[in-house]
Amino acid sequence: MRKYQTLLYYCYSHIDHAEQFAADHLQFCKSLGLVGRIIVADEGLNGTVSGTPEACQAYMDAVHADPRFAKTDFKIDEVNELSFIKMHCRYKPEIVHSGLRDPKIIDPTKETGKHLEPREFMEMKDRDDVVVLDVRSNYEHNVGRFKNALTLDIENFREFPEKINELSAYKDKKILTYCTGGIKCEKASALLLKNGFKDVYQLHGGIIKYGKEAGGKDFEGKCYVFDNRVTVDVNHVNPTEVSACRTCGTNSSRMINCANPECNEHFAQCEACGWKMEGCCSDTCMAHPRKRPYDGTGYYVKVPQPVNLEKISRREVKRLTANPTLHN
C-alpha cells in the first residue's frame, strides 16, 4: 500500500474576493499538511495537491462542502512519495492561461463541448467521422499522445486561439478534444464552438481519468504532469514509447530542463546523454558561462526575484489600503 496520495482537480465557478480566498486557502492546506500547487482566479480553482490519504480526504470533503465546488471531480493517484516539496496557492487572472478572460467571449460554466466519459471516448475515437484533437503544448504531446491524434505546434496553451483557423478543414467532423485532466478542454471546446464548429466533445477527466477507467488503451507514451513525477504511466493495455532522447534518438521519456538558464528548454534526454551533455540540449549551451551544475535530475530550484511593486494588482493594493491590519 502506498503511503501518500496526489489529487488533480479543477472547477470553474465564480469566486468573490478571489485574492483573499487564495490566501485563506493556502493556510487551510498548510494546516492539513498538504503540499502542492493551486491556482485561484475569479473563474475558479485549478490544483494538484499531495499528502497522506487522511489529509487528502479532509481536503476533498472541505472542497465538496462548499456549494461553489460541490461538483469538483478529483483524480486520485496513490504515490510512494509526495509529489511536491512545498505548498503554493496563488491568485492569477485565469486558472489556465489562455488569454481568454472575457466571459462574454467564452464561459465554461455556460457552454463547452459535450463531455464524454472515458469509455465513451474510447468507443468514438476511431470512427471515420471523428478527429481526436490534443490541445496541449509540444513538450506534453511529444512525450505521450493518443494514437492518430491531431497535435498542434504550440509552446503554451495561450497560443491555442491562434491555431483555430488551421483546424477549419475539420469543421464537418466530430472533434474530440483531450488534455491532461480536462481543464484546457473546457476553454478549447468552448472556443471551437464559438468559431463555428458544430459537433465538439471533450474527454471528461482527461488522460488521467482515461487511464484509470479505460486502461489507457491507445494512449502512446506517458502523460506529462505538473509535479515532481513529471510523467506518469497511463496505458496498461497496449503501452508503447513515443518520446526520443534529443541527443542520441533512443526511446526516452525522461524530461529535463537545459542546464543553461538562458535556454532552459524542456526536452527529453536519456540518462547517459544527460551526463555526457551535462544536462544541456546542445554544445552551445554546454559552453555557456552561466551553465548550472548538473546533478542528474535536470531540475533547478528557481532563484527568488525581487518583488516588482509595479506588477502588484490594483485590486490587491486597494485591499491592503482598505485593511491596514493585513500589513502586519
* Domains of the chain and CATH, by start: 4-91 (3.30.70.100), 114-232 (3.40.250.10), 244-328 (no CATH)
State the Cα–Cα distance between residues 42 and 18, nearest whole angstrom. Answer: 5
Which candidate, 221, 215, 228, places its Cα nearest to that of 79?
Answer: 228
Q: Is 179 a catalytic residue?
A: yes
State the Cα–Cα distance between residues 253 and 142, nearest whole angstrom. Answer: 9
The residue among 145 and 102 whose pLDDT is bigger is 145
Strand positions, DSSP E, the chain: 4-12, 35-41, 44-51, 75-79, 87-91, 114-116, 130-134, 144-146, 174-178, 200-203, 219-221, 223-224, 231-232, 255-257, 266-268
State the Cα–Cα distance between residues 45 and 91, nearest whole angstrom. Answer: 10
pLDDT, tens digit, for every residue of 150-180?
999 999 999 999 999 999 999 999 999 999 9
Average pLDDT, whole number, for the chain? 91
Measured CA to CA in angstroms, residue 191 lies from 99, 125, 235, 243, 244 at distances of 12, 21, 29, 30, 32
Percent of the chain scoring above 90 in pLDDT: 87
Which candidate, 15, 11, 120, places its Cα nearest to that of 73?
Answer: 11
pLDDT at 21 over 80: yes
Query: Which residue in the list 11, 89, 179, 245 is annotated as catalytic?
Result: 179
Contact by Cβ (8 Å): 278, 295: no
Helices (H), 32-172: 53-65, 118-124, 138-141
pLDDT, tens digit, for every residue of 214-239?
999 999 999 999 999 999 999 999 99
State the Cα–Cα distance between residues 216 and 270, nearest whole angstrom. Answer: 24
pLDDT at 322 over 90: no
302: confidence class by pLDDT, cuts 50, 70, 90: low
308: confidence class by pLDDT, cuts 50, 70, 90: very low
pLDDT at 294 over 90: yes
State the Cα–Cα distance between residues 258 and 300, nearest whole angstrom. Answer: 10
> Residue 105: what residue type?
I
- Strands 4-12, 44-51: pairing is antiparallel
pLDDT, tens digit, for every residue of 37-76?
999 999 999 999 999 999 999 999 999 999 999 999 999 9
pLDDT at 311 over 60: no
